[in-house]
């Protein structure tokens, strides 16, 4: 498709799609022409003033403070399987790590990660069902691809997330107002932002919006990244051996995993004025889909793009956005991916995956596996 139809139009659902790296990069960075006012939840983008909250939460210093905590959480989740014949890498580790980290970041009491995970699973199942209806011709373009912020908030409020996790927020917020701690929730509760030239405190509604954003984006993207980590490194054991022999390559291996199999392979935009790609005019008001997964395999941008290579030298990929649409949770995703791989290889330098037994995660917003049983040779 990149060669024969770099600008694809789907007349059934009335949307355009870009497949080449440079084209997707252009659409990602030109925020004036390509609007994210309706976009995918998993881009981790947020409306003002919530974006300022996100930037405060994901500063390099704040992420660095999590390093020891993430190592400890990984060890706690992985150690019970040492000496066993194997386990489900996603169901029993990869899907639990992100909510555990997020809950600790926010200062929630321990032991709520299963509730958080079930709530997120339910929400993404509902989103997948809506997307699936569209894919079968029973609706419009999958709503999870072109979803407004208001629709997302409605979906979240209707899931178990509100009752199981958000039900604790009023009490936690009040506690942090009275007695601040060193967690991110305390930082945000006492934060001030600038609006119309004046400083003001964060409202409770804005805190809720931020935590919804964190819950949705910070959980699924990392879980699917870790699912691909287990599968791809088992599929290419010679590449895994390279990383085992040289752990300094682990961060680069995570980047190559993100490029090779993007957890969020598609993003949506609305075109604000007529724009041309390769002689094709995309009219103002059109829905535009950016195929990040296809762009990351573009031979114009990457040498031998279909080869998984942990030594690959590249300056960027599009799995976590770019420019103004850079995924603000990217630092957290990279931290969790790197430490998860470090702690996994420390315990098991080799594992096998029977790909006939793995199960896809059934959503229309992220791509990856819900179950990946691994065994040890």
pLDDT tens string 321-371: 654 445 556 778 899 999 999 999 999 999 999 999 999 997 767 899 999
Mean pLDDT score across all residues of the chain: 82
Give CA–CA dist 89/241, Å, rounded: 19
The model's pTM? 0.83
Indicate the SS3 state at residue 150: helix
What are the extents of the domains in the chain? 7-375
> What pLDDT does residue 1 have?
86
| List of residues 6+ apart from 186 with CB closer than 8 A | 107, 176, 180
Give CA–CA dist 57/184, Å, rounded: 6
pLDDT of 303 over the 80 cut: yes
> What pLDDT does residue 48 have?
56
Range scoring the smallest mean pLDDT among 100-104, 117-121, 122-126, 357-361: 122-126
pLDDT tens string 240-269: 999 999 999 999 999 999 999 999 898 889
pLDDT of 230 over the 90 cut: yes
User: Is the backbone peptide bond immediately before 329 cis, with ω within 30 degrees of 0?
Assistant: no
Confidence class of residue 158 from pLDDT cuts 50, 70 and 90?
A: very low
> What pLDDT does residue 328 have?
53
Q: Which fold has domain 7-375?
A: Cytochrome p450 (1.10.630)
Burial 323-353 (b: 16+ CB within 10 A, else e): eebbbbbbbbbbbbbbbbbbbbbeebeebeb
Specify whether the CB–CB gap between 254 and 341 falls below 8 A: yes
- Angle at which helices 330-347 and 97-106 cross, to 10°: 130
> What pLDDT does residue 371 have?
97
108 against 117, higher pLDDT: 108
């Amino acid at each position: 498709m990149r060669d024969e139809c770099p600008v694809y139009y789907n007349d059934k659902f009335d949307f355009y799609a870009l497949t080449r790296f440079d084209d997707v990069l252009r659409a990602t960075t030109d925020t004036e022409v390509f609007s994210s006012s309706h976009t995918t939840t998993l881009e981790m983008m947020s409306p003002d003033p919530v974006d300022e909250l996100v930037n405060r939460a994901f500063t390099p210093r704040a992420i660095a403070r999590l390093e020891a905590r993430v190592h400890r959480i990984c060890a706690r989740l992985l150690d019970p399987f040492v000496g066993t014949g194997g386990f489900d890498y996603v169901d029993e580790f990869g899907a639990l790590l992100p909510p555990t980290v997020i809950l600790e970041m926010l200062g929630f009491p321990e032991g709520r990660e299963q509730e958080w995970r079930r709530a997120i699973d339910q929400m993404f199942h509902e989103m997948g069902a809506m997307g699936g209806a569209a894919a079968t011709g029973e609706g419009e373009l999958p709503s999870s691809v072109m979803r407004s912020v208001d629709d997302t908030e409605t979906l979240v409020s209707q899931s178990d997330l509100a009752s199981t996790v958000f039900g604790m927020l009023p009490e936690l917020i009040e506690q942090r107002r009275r007695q601040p701690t060193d967690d991110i929730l305390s930082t945000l509760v006492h934060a001030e932002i600038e609006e119309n030239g004046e400083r003001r405190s964060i409202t409770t509604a804005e805190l809720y919006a931020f935590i919804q954003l964190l819950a949705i984006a910070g959980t699924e993207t990392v879980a699917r990244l870790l699912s691909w980590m287990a599968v791809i490194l088992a599929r290419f054991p010679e590449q895994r051996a390279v990383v085992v022999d040289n752990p300094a390559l682990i961060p680069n291996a995570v980047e190559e995993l993100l490029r090779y199999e993007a957890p969020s392979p598609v993003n949506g935009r609305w075109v604000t004025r007529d724009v041309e790609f390769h002689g094709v005019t995309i009219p103002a008001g059109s829905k535009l889909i950016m195929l990040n997964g296809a762009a990351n395999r573009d031979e114009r941008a990457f040498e031998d793009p279909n080869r998984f290579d942990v030594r690959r030298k590249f300056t960027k990929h599009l799995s976590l956005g770019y420019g103004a649409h850079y995924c603000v949770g990217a630092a957290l995703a990279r931290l969790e991916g790197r430490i998860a791989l470090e702690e996994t290889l420390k315990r098991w330098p080799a594992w096998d995956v029977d790909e006939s037994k793995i199960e896809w995660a059934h959503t229309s917003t992220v791509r990856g596996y819900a179950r990946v049983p691994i065994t040890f040779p």
